[in-house]
Amino acid sequence: MDSHDLPSWNSMPAVPGMPHGCAWGLFDQNDVKDEVGTINLLQPSTIIKASKEIKTGKSVVLNWPLDRVHEPSFDRPNLHVTVKDWKKEGSPWYCYDDEIKLNTQSGSQWDGLRHWGHSETGLYYNGLPHELVLDTSHLGVDHWSKRGGIVGRGVLLDYVAFAARHNFEYDPMTRHCITLSDIRNMAEEQSVTFQHGDILIFRTGWVKWYEEHNEHKRRSKIKNGNDHVGIEGNEEMFAWLWNNHFAALASDTVGVEAWPPTFPWCLHDYAISMWGMPLGELWDLEALATACEEEKRWTFFFTSAPLNNPGGIASPPNAVAVF
């Protein structure tokens, strides 16, 4: 099913036992359960159209350095890198290897469809129960690879620049909500018209704050704090997101949505569990924002090659914006 065949929010069919707005079954084909959710919207025609965004050839990497989050939130482990010197091991070759151990939630990431189950039912996208997730190959990030990665048109909404234009201050390390009115106003001011299948990206200032503060401040707000900026959670917001048929959402903060969520309007529940929509978190959008200002446009060709990891739960995005 492509975006033109999808029902509106108000017309979405009921899924027994789930709240209104659940998209299970909408992307199934030939009685086979779908594995990639809204990534289905990235059809060849969508990608060809997105390629028209390439005009200057300037490219910007959106991955934050792997080692930037020195003390990840929720007691996740730090990155651990070991370098092996083969010459010292008696090899005839002058050669190094590096061995990397990381939690995929401790830096720039895509939340995959095995990462988050619906908070009330424990069911993952398309009805997979929590206790069966690890016993199957369903919903792994490798299914994105089988489709050719995540490729389409990216759109940046720059809330940091929006706040500066309108002379208001906020703290990204608080539960500051970006409202639907804010989003619409940002799009208008940036002359952005959304297209079905867009990868919508929010610059909230979280990474900017992190880079500008010392270790003590970082620890107090990240290691020992749980409040973070993000988009507001309510029915109006989620109806708007669904009706625009975005392929994915991403941001430079820890959860895209204002954290902690206010149930029942939890974006992780709706996006990941009910729509099969990847959420990108902790992306470095500073160079992207600068490039957008220089180019005077906030849309670009977007490509992401997540890890081809069978059964993978999340992945570094390996994301690039091309102007």
In order of start, what are the domains of the chain with their CATH numbers?
14-77+104-322 (3.50.30.50)
Region 130-137: what's the mean pLDDT? 95
Phi first, then psi, for residue 10 (nearest 5°) are: -65, -25
Among 104-113, 196-205, 212-221, 240-249, name the one with the lowest average pLDDT.
212-221
pLDDT at 127: 97
What DSSP letter does each residue of 132-155 carry, written as one string? GGGGS-TT-THHHHHTTSEEEEEE
Does the pLDDT at position 166 exceed 70? yes
Per-residue pLDDT band for 239 (boundaries 50, 70, 90) equals very high
- Distance, in Å, from the CA atom of 65 to the CA atom of 251, rounded to the nearest integer, reads 15
Residue type, 189: E
Per-residue pLDDT band for 220 (boundaries 50, 70, 90) equals confident
pLDDT at 314: 97
Tell me the per-residue pLDDT of 27-45, one tens digit each, with 9 for 90 and over. 999 999 999 999 999 999 9
Tell me the per-residue pLDDT of 68-116, one tens digit each, with 9 for 90 and over. 887 777 778 888 999 999 999 999 999 999 999 989 998 999 999 999 9
Residue type, 268: H
pLDDT at 2: 62
The share of the chain scoring above pLDDT 90, in percent, equals 89
- Distance, in Å, from the CA atom of 123 to the CA atom of 140, rounded to the nearest integer, reads 15
- Distance, in Å, from the CA atom of 269 to the CA atom of 242, rounded to the nearest integer, reads 13
Largest CA distance in the chain: 68
pLDDT at 121: 97
Region 45-51: what's the mean pLDDT? 98
Per-residue pLDDT band for 218 (boundaries 50, 70, 90) equals confident
216 or 83, greater pLDDT: 83
67 or 307, greater pLDDT: 307
Cβ–Cβ under 8 Å, residues 239 and 246: no
Per-residue pLDDT band for 215 (boundaries 50, 70, 90) equals confident
Does the pLDDT at position 1 exceed 60? no
